[in-house]
Structure 1
Amino acid sequence: MKKVYIPFLFIMLLIMSACNSTPAKESQATTITYQSENGPVVVPADPKRVVVLSSFAGNVMSLNVNLVGVDTWTMKNPRFKDKLTNVAEVSDENIEKIIELNPDLIIGLSNVKNVEKLKAIAPTVTYTYGKVDYLTQHVEIGKLLNKEKEAQAWVDDFKQRAQKAGTDIKAKIGEDATVSVIENFDKQLYVYGDNWGRGTEILYQEMKLKMPEKVKEMALKDGYYALSLEVLPQYAGDYIIFSKNKEATVAFQETNTYKNIPAVKNNKVFEANMMEFYFNDPLTLELQLDFFIKSFLGKK
């Protein structure tokens, strides 16, 4: 009896052990393969220490993934200040500092420097700005961070809310009313097309508001166009979104040329903080959408 019982018990224990260990092995997958624009890259399935060298920190933060290093422009964004308390400021030229941060994933634009050195530190994925639209870009970063479902859910909800707001705004200002987005930066004025941050994606792509013909002619292809104060009236819409750089000169606002623009005379210029308005990540897009709803519709 013992000769039959002992082997049987031993076999049952082995089977139970194997069954119990299978889910554990499956749940311990530590990497995924992300199909980047430069080919497949093996990245952490659950990244814990991410460095972002350009543009995409807000995408990462919106998906609740931990950052350890970000670029200078991101660090200057007052909207991100509380979220970046323990995050270091880095650049693609400060390799030693990035090494010290011990990142498990590095993200940047395709024009970052020292990319081969960065790849030697951690898996590195870069994106060409504008290669995909701004919402697809967020979904791509969601895929990279193994959070595609969360990214897609936000995109679907945001599009619905932005388009609804656009319908309400057009009902108030008229279907043919035009909107310009301008910015003062480094002693220069710029006007923007439909895919260069500053809320342009929301205004023109989602809300379908119209841009002046002159803006369409000069800024739509490249995304932006530098212009002088003298010709600014030609690019001014019925409404102006002014992404205002408070650190740069705004003396042009005291000129007769500016004051006589119809949108200025009619109090249809809405000023935003350039440093908050700069990007097109989910955190910034939520700020921009809220700003447009309040500015155009007077809602709080």
Structure 2
Amino acid sequence: MNKKLLLILTLFMTLALAACGSGTDDTKGEAEDKASSDTIVYESETGPVEVPADPQRVVVLSSYAGDLIKLGVPIVGVDSWSAANPSFDEALKDAEVVSNEDIEKIIELEPDLIIGLNNIQNADKLEKIAPTVLFTYGKNDYLQQHIEIAKVVNKEQEATEWVENFKQRAEDLGTRIKGKIGEDATVTVAENFEKQLYLFGDNWGRGTEILYQAMGLKMPEQVQDVALEPGYFAISQEVLGDYAGDYLVLSLTEEQDTSFMDAAWFKEIPAVKNGNLIVADARTAYFNDAMTLDDQLDFFEQEFLGNE
């Protein structure tokens, strides 16, 4: 083989190898692009977490199930409180009830994302099963929390649009309700638990976020004094009349004592005597997620305004 032919063959081989190498790099780059498009990074309270861009098997170990349902995200595992909410029955019919203690059960569910509260045990074990995002309850307000949940599942724009729409609807409804009951009418929210009643501030579920924050209805001063800052305050059933406003919203469950409603002292509370008692199902009222907020807005519209 002469030197000229050898040089041509060497050059050909070099170009061929370069082309192969270029193809390999391009393929690798395409694979990396594909991988990155399958995940996003959420900046959690404890640092960045790589999560699926389109999660299909979420385990939620807190009160955020309604936010995920509203966003159309499939849930395969859910906390017992959310599972007991009749409003969630259809969306959670195939979900398993789990807690942070059910490690083996959660593994069997093969989740691609886990969401919960940051005070749960076994967080380190959960992180080994699937990307795990934990929130501090109350760190975000009730509407921003929905947006944060949406960021985790790559649906921030959808959540932001819902929040703006909800705020407008709630403000409009508040205006209509105050037009009927008066600007200075007060509303008390209470719930029965173990032969006591709990008064609530403006950020503890039970419709309080809607009534006081979104619609701007007034809380009695005596309730503000004891419940606004801590969020809730326990009282004896018999002194409810001392805290009841012009309207009384009772969040009740059959599992707890409701016999007090038959007592003479209860029937003498002005709000009760005047027909301004609103009874809510506690199982649906505990929460302040997006789905629950929509339901509560409809509930309060009916209770305060009827068919107007």
State whether structure 2 residue 177 is matched by structure 1 residue 174: no
- Where does residue 3 of structure 1 map in the other structure? none
Partner of 1:87: 95
TM-score normalised by length of structure 1: 0.91
Q: Deviations 1:241-287 (Å, cap 9, x if unpaired)?
A: 11111221111111122111000000100111110111011111111
Aligned to 1:284: 292
Equivalent in the alignment of 1:227: 235
Q: Which residue number corresponds to residue 148 of structure 2?
A: 140
Question: How much has 1:80 moved relative to structure 2?
Answer: 0.7
The amino acid that maps onto 2:156 is E
| Secondary structure class of the residue paired with 1:208 | coil
Letter in 2 for 1:252: F
**SS of residue matched to 1:83:** coil
CA shift, 1:176, in A, is 0.5
The one-letter code sitting in structure 2 at the alignment partner of 1:48 is: Q
**Could you say what secondary structure the match of 2:49 adopts?**
strand
CA distance in 2, matches of 1:47, 1:247: 36
Residue in structure 1 matched with residue 40 of structure 2 by the alignment: 32
How far apart are the structure 2 equivalents of 1:48 and 1:172?
45
Alignment partners' CA distance in 1, 2:245 and 2:191: 14
Count of residue pairs brought into register by the alignment = 286
Q: CA deviation at 1:29?
A: 1.1
- Does the aligned pair in 1 maintain the 2:195–2:237 contact within 8 Å? no
Write the distance in 2 (CA, Å) between the matches of 1:183 and 1:110.
26
TM superposition shift of 1:299: 2.9
Shift, 1:170, TM fit: 0.5
- Give 2:195's match in structure 1, choosing from 175, 179, 187: 187
Write the deviation string for residues 194-244 of structure 1: whole angstroms up to 9, x where unpaired: 000011000000111000111101111111111102221111010011111
Deviates more, 1:156-165 or 1:179-188: 179-188
**Distance between the aligned counterparts of 1:257 and 1:190, measured in 2?**
17
**d(CA) in 2 for partners of 1:269, 1:174:** 16
Are residue 271 (structure 1) and residue 279 (structure 2) matched?
yes
- What's 1:99 paired with? 107
Give the alignment partner of residue 57 of structure 1, picking from 55, 62, 65: 65
* Counterpart residue identity of residue 207, structure 1: M
Shift of 1:38: 1.3
Unaligned runs of 5+ in 2: 1-14
Match of 2:259 in 1: 251
Amino acid at match of 1:196: W
- Say whether the 8 Å CA contact 1:246–1:273 is kept in structure 2: no
Q: Distance in 1 between matches of 2:306 and 2:31?
A: 54
Partners of 2:200 and 2:228 within 8 A in 1: yes
Matched, 1:214 2:196: no
The alpha-carbon deviation at position 24 of structure 1 amounts to 10
Correspondent of 1:161 among 150, 157, 169: 169
TM-fit CA distance, 1:26:
5.5
**In 2, Cα distance between the equivalents of 1:82 and 1:25?**
37
What amino acid sits opposite 1:179 in the alignment? V
2:102 equivalent to 1:78: no
Structure 1: gaps spanning 5 or more residues? 1-6
Match of 1:242? 250
SS of 1:172's equivalent in the other structure is helix
**Root mean square deviation, CA, Å:** 2.0
Tell me which amino acid in the other structure corresponds to 2:88: F
Partner amino acid for 2:293? Answer: L
Matching residue's letter, 2:274: N
